[in-house]
Structure 1
Amino acid sequence: MGTEPEYEPTAHHETGYVPESEVPVAVLFAEESETRRSRRPSREKQRRRRRRTIVMLVVLVFFAGVVFGLTLFLRDLLGMNEIKDYEGAGTGSVSFTVAEGDGPMVIGNKLEAADIVATSKEFVGTFQTESDGREIQPGSYEMKQQMSSSAALEALLGEQGAAVHYAAVARDLRQGEVFEILSTSTGIPLAEFEALAKNPQAFGLPAEAVSLEGYLHPGEYRFPLDQDATSIVTEMVNNTFTTLEDAGITDPAEQYRILTKASIIQAEAGEADYAKVAGAIQNRLREDNVETSGLIQSDATVTYGLNRKSYDLTPEEKADKSNPYNTYANPGLPVGPIGSPSTEAVEAAANPADVPFYYWVTVNLDTGQTEFSSTLAEHAKYVAEYQEWCATQKPGRCG
């Protein structure tokens, strides 16, 4: 009958539903934009998130640094990073000096600084356990770098680690001063050395020698504990003979003359001027010397004969011919050496410089500045300069 068919809702015909094709485009775009904004974090949230990330990174880096530093500290504390000791006898060659008064700790510090041993601590510990009461003596030693502490200690304790008596005999010392050093160093009574000096010919000295003066060669000595006075003196005298022979002087009489000249050079000059002073003395000893008529005129020789050390002489002392060491009153060399000359002084005496000088004077005792001249008038000017310098010094400095 024209009746319409009854309506049947489908799944898309729910309450409030509007087909998309029927919704306005502007509304759909607005809804989509709102949805995207709701899903994307705001700028403030992004900044907060970045700050949190940076803070966390800083904290992590700081924590890692603390852990690393703590690890290094613990390794150092436990000695894990430290090379405690080298192995073996070392390599190369290095000169090492032990000064007077240096103890094991000071020596260890010096050894470590020179890279001879790995650590001072290990060396000191080795010394305490291996030295057996022996002491390291002052002096110069040929060492190696990167030695074990035991090898370094063995080298410093002397040949085969033997205990020794150390004696340092300086140049220009007189016989009595040398004997005092030897007695103090070895414990041998002073009288034993003095007795030996009364018979110098027993040690090969020429007949004109009245004592061992000049033949006790300066240097550093390490005497075995059982070495007696006779063998000690023999060793020192033989060193002097060797020095003379090395300088080309082999005749005993000439050796005595050279040694006497060398002892004056040693007392009168600094090492830089040895050869010049030797040449001036040689000029004074020449037969044609009319400048000083054969007189050496050395203050050091006169005071030796007076048994004192001084350069302050009276006119009477300079004129006293009874003093066999007075080179102001007696021409030529004195009767013998006046001290222990060094190897350098002996070489200068044997090979004097060819100079025109007869006079010399050290015008400044601090710097050693020495002036030479060929005439007495010129020399007098330098003497005045020396006296002016002395006037500015403390009493006794120039005496």
Structure 2
Amino acid sequence: MHPEPVEQFFEADVPSRRTRRPSKARQRRRRRGTIVMLVVVLLFVGVVFGAAMFLRNLLGVGEVTDYAGPGTGSVTFTVEAGAGPLIVGNELEQQDIVASADEFLNALAAEADGRVIQPGDYEMKYQMSSAEAAKALLAEGGAGVYYAAVARDLRQNEVLDILAESTGIPREEFEALAEDPTQFGIPEKSPSLEGYLYPGEYRFDLDITATEVIQQMVDNTKAALEEAGVTDPDEQYRILTIASIVQAEAGQADYAQVAGAIMNRLGPDNTETNGLIQSDATVTYGLDRKSYNLTDEEKADKSNPYNTYAIEGLPVGPIGSPSAEAIEAAVNPADVPYYYWVTVDLDTGETKFSETLAEHAVYVQEYQEWCADNAGRCE
């Protein structure tokens, strides 16, 4: 007789809860939860980092405000005429010569002691301390210069004022030199230095003399004339005289055309003005004033050697310091049919040209109407 089989309480082929694999749907839910949590953590970290960087920039934490030491390498830094400390500071920062424009301005204020930065080229270094940069631009410990800015179209007396003020040399020394212009290689016919004091920016050595200043300016004028192809001294004098009138009568855009009209007036076949240039600028120069208004008596006065209304041809000499552009126009005038010109708008410089006196009268009327609408501008 066989024994009864013992009933098993656990079936061998049925796995326990621990060994049972989760369903696919449950696995997907777990993955989604993990991804969401990861995204939340990353967003939180990003927000915290952004806030930290914002506060860092706001408070200037870790920001370099000044370099230490004299700097490294070499760089030529240019200070343009008229550039103030703020512009200089910003350009220094942009070129990585100083770390901060604001810090440079503070250092400049501490170092200046009444001095100012002069225009010019300066040999500097990258990543200089603000104090070292300020010292370099103030020429501390270096050879200083006298800076003089001479604008185009200035008269001799105006130029001498600038030279005396810029160099500290007494004006009387310059005036004495002007009485004998031939010592500078100027033709004997010239009554003064007028026309030969070349416009531009000058940096004179501190030990320069008045004679050396004038000679340098005269040499620059002759160089500009030679550059334009004029080498004969008498022809240089003639070209300077024409160029000075062009400079005084026109804006740069009209130099060549005004020069062409002047040449037409000087031509032997001129029946429009019969050899008269009729320039207001020459007459007022002879009257020692600057004005747009002339009386009939002043236009008829032949005792004024610069009166081109009453005296045919060119005046006795230049009436100001012409630029290289005006000299070039006098040497190469435009081939135009005009004899007349008038600036009808003193603000824009708009100039109108004509061949006949009748047409010119229309433009003169336009100029007078502009003057009526702009009180005080045409005195």
TM-score, normalising length: structure 2: 0.80
Q: Secondary structure at the match of 1:205?
A: coil
Give the Cα separation in 1 of the matches to 2:154 and 2:277: 21
Q: CA offsets, 1:29-67, max 9 Å, x none?
A: xxxxxx9xxxx9xxxxxx9xx99x979974774356325
Q: Does 1:370 align with 2:351?
A: yes
**Structure 1 residue 213 displacement after superposition:** 0.6
Q: Does 1:240 align with 2:224?
A: no
Q: Which runs of 5+ in 1 are unaligned?
A: 1-11, 13-18, 22-34, 41-46
Contact 1:362 1:370 in 2 (8 A): yes
1:320 maps to which residue? 301
2:13 maps to which residue? none
Give the Cα separation in 1 of the matches to 2:227 and 2:136: 29
1:120 maps to which residue? 100
1:196 maps to which residue? 177
Contact 1:126 1:149 in 2 (8 A): no
**Structure 1 residue 294 displacement after superposition:** 0.4
1:28 maps to which residue? none
**Structure 1 residue 225 displacement after superposition:** 1.4
Question: Which of 51, 62, 69 is the matching residue for 1:78?
Answer: 62
Give the Cα separation in 2 of the matches to 1:80 and 1:267: 53
Q: Does 1:98 align with 2:80?
A: yes
Give the Cα separation in 2 of the matches to 1:80 and 1:306: 62
1:268 maps to which residue? 249
Question: Which of 59, 65, 74 is the matching residue for 1:89?
Answer: 74
Contact 2:111 2:135 in 1 (8 A): no
Give the Cα separation in 1 of the matches to 2:148 and 2:222: 20
Q: What is the number of equivalent residue pairs in this alignment?
A: 366
Superposed, 1:39-58 pairs within 5 Å as 58=40
Question: Which of 366, 372, 376 is the matching residue for 1:396?
Answer: 376
Contact 1:363 1:371 in 2 (8 A): yes
Q: CA offsets, 1:258-317, max 9 Å, x none?
A: 101100000000111111111111111112211111000000000000000001000000
Q: CA offsets, 1:234-256, max 9 Å, x none?
A: 11111001011111111111111
Give the Cα separation in 2 of the matches to 1:155 and 1:228: 26
Q: Secondary structure at the match of 2:341?
A: strand
Q: Does 1:292 align with 2:273?
A: yes
User: Alignment identity in percent?
Assistant: 59
**Structure 1 residue 350 displacement after superposition:** 1.0
Q: Secondary structure at the match of 1:372?
A: strand
Give the Cα separation in 1 of the matches to 2:99 and 2:114: 22
Change (3 A) 1:280 1:81: closer
**Structure 1 residue 99 displacement after superposition:** 4.3
Which structure has the bigger radius of gyration? 1
Letter in 2 for 1:162: A
Q: CA RMSD in A?
A: 4.2
TM superposition outliers: structure 1 runs of 4+ over 2 Å = 53-76, 78-87, 95-101, 110-113, 115-136, 141-144, 146-158
1:329 maps to which residue? 310
**Structure 1 residue 102 displacement after superposition:** 0.8
